[in-house]
Amino acid sequence: MKTIVYVSKSAYPMHENQLLDILHSSRIHNAALKISGVLLYSEGTFIQLLEGKDNFIDALYKRIQADERHKNIITLVDRSTPEKSFEQWLMGFAVTDANKTEKLVGYLKSINDLDLDNKSNEAVSAIKDFIESNKLNIQD
């Protein structure tokens, strides 16, 4: 089992429909490969946590690195892990305009959706830090 967390800049401003297209295609692809994770977007910056079988995660991350919608990709976490932090989510998702997307399945309605009690999990901590530093509208 492997977890990768990366942060990147959007190559261009992303509109709501573009973000929803990414979410939809990610969920279809991830379901087939039993990949789970979370994707956050704020003012042109993405952070994504991906978890699953090593070879599937490595292949997906290579595709993301080649994706022209991303630039300045920085890997924050790349490690083996004994279990998933987001197993129930094909792809959790949040953007700053919560009013338009809050009814989506897997949308982070609350920071409580994250297992923040697991302080030793650097991947979950990276997601939490992104939420807090970007002041995403995710209520406690």
pLDDT tens column, 44-58: 888 888 999 999 999
- pLDDT band per the 50, 70, 90 thresholds, residue 114: low
Is pLDDT of 61 > 90?
A: yes
CA distances (Å), origin 139, targets 34, 50, 69, 93, 131 = 29, 23, 29, 14, 10
Beta bridge partners of 99: none
What pLDDT, on the 0 to 100 scale, is given for residue 82? 87
Provide the whole-model pTM. 0.69
Q: Using only C-alpha atoms, what is the Rg of the chain?
A: 14
Please give the residue that has the higher pLDDT: either 46 or 109.
46
Please give the residue that has the higher pLDDT: either 127 or 59.
59
- Coil, helix or strand at residue 116: coil
The candidate with the shortest Cα–Cα distance to 93, out of 12, 8, 16, is 16
Cβ within 8 Å of residue 18, ≥6 positions away: none
Query: What's the mean pLDDT in 68-78?
Result: 92
Q: Tell me the pLDDT of the chain averaged across its residues.
A: 75
User: What backbone torsions phi and psi does residue 11 show, to the nearest 5 degrees?
Assistant: -65, -20
Lowest mean pLDDT: which of 14-18, 87-91, 111-115? 111-115
Number of Cβ within 10 Å of residue 89's Cβ equals 21
Q: Going from the N-terminus, what domains does the chain have, and what CATH number goes with each?
A: 2-133 (3.30.70.100)
Cβ within 8 Å of residue 121, ≥6 positions away: 85, 115
Between CA 35 and CA 3 the distance in angstroms is 10
What pLDDT, on the 0 to 100 scale, is given for residue 135? 56
